[in-house]
Structure 1
């Protein structure tokens, strides 16, 4: 059974659009490729046909995975997010206790994570370390560089 993932309304719509595109346009394009390969002669020795059938199998696998993701997706209403503790879709301002550097991250699902945009996954070491903390708490995060300590300065949405 797939695990439930939480998404912003925008990301959920993006996932549904991608799935719809794969089902309609992707399958249509794949059928054309198979038909073109079939027209080239003997199927038993037609490498192009075999490749097109393999690509079709991969497309169907991707569609199946996307359907599972969409079926297990939960859309979060940002207005109902509790800002007393760090949770999914919380915007967290933290301060590195060692060097005093302050950073703001938004906690999101794995699929939405984008470090350049300041979005970190709730399943990453940072996301796990910050989850459930309140303003003033210290989060100890085990990073590749060693154990880091961060003070939670602010939680918003």
Structure 2
């Protein structure tokens, strides 16, 4: 069975590599030290510090596995390979809902780098799917659970 690929820019992959390094070189040793200290308290059956440290260790090891998988199966997309004004992964898009003054800015990233709170949307999201391949001046129809609406692409720039 083929593994899923994780589409991302080179910058996104480098960010994942930094996170992985942080987990391996900082977080993992910190947790091991906390486990060692908690063990020194004696009876492990009623040792809440030990249980908390073991839970954190499981979380850290899980994050390491997730990051290693995303890095191993990364498919790097070069946003320079498409036209400057074409929406693609690695581009920042300013759109305006047709018929309103509402404007939104989206940074199109691979699914591994999505973070809605910082405006980074996955290339797999309905918004990105509607925008990818379109150019400045085009109108795209975005379909969401709340219904469909049209947006006009005001600008497309390479994400810094």
Where does structure 1 lack aligned partners over 5 or more consecutive residues?
A: none
Alignment partners' CA distance in 2, 1:116 and 1:51: 28
Alignment partners' CA distance in 2, 1:151 and 1:112: 25
Where does structure 2 lack aligned partners over 5 or more consecutive residues?
A: none
Q: Aligned residue for 1:63?
A: 64
Larger Cα-atom Rg = 1
Matched, 1:33 2:31: no
Mark the CA change 1:102 to 1:34 in structure 2 (over 3 Å): closer, same or farther: closer
Q: Aligned residue for 2:141?
A: 140
Q: Aligned residue for 1:3?
A: 5
- With 21-30 and 114-123 compared, the bigger mean Cα shift is at 114-123
- Secondary structure at 1:87 match in 2: coil
- Secondary structure at 2:151 match in 1: strand
Is contact 2:24-2:64 (8 Å) kept?
yes
Q: Aligned residue for 1:81?
A: 82
Is contact 2:121-2:128 (8 Å) kept?
yes
Question: What's the C-alpha RMSD, in Å, of the aligned pairs?
Answer: 2.8
- With 110-119 and 121-130 compared, the bigger mean Cα shift is at 110-119
Mark the CA change 1:4 to 1:147 in structure 2 (over 3 Å): closer, same or farther: same
TM superposition shift of 1:58: 1.8
- With 18-27 and 45-54 compared, the bigger mean Cα shift is at 45-54
Q: Deviations over 1:52-81 (max 9, x none)?
A: 222212211111111111212234434323
Mark the CA change 1:100 to 1:16 in structure 2 (over 3 Å): closer, same or farther: same
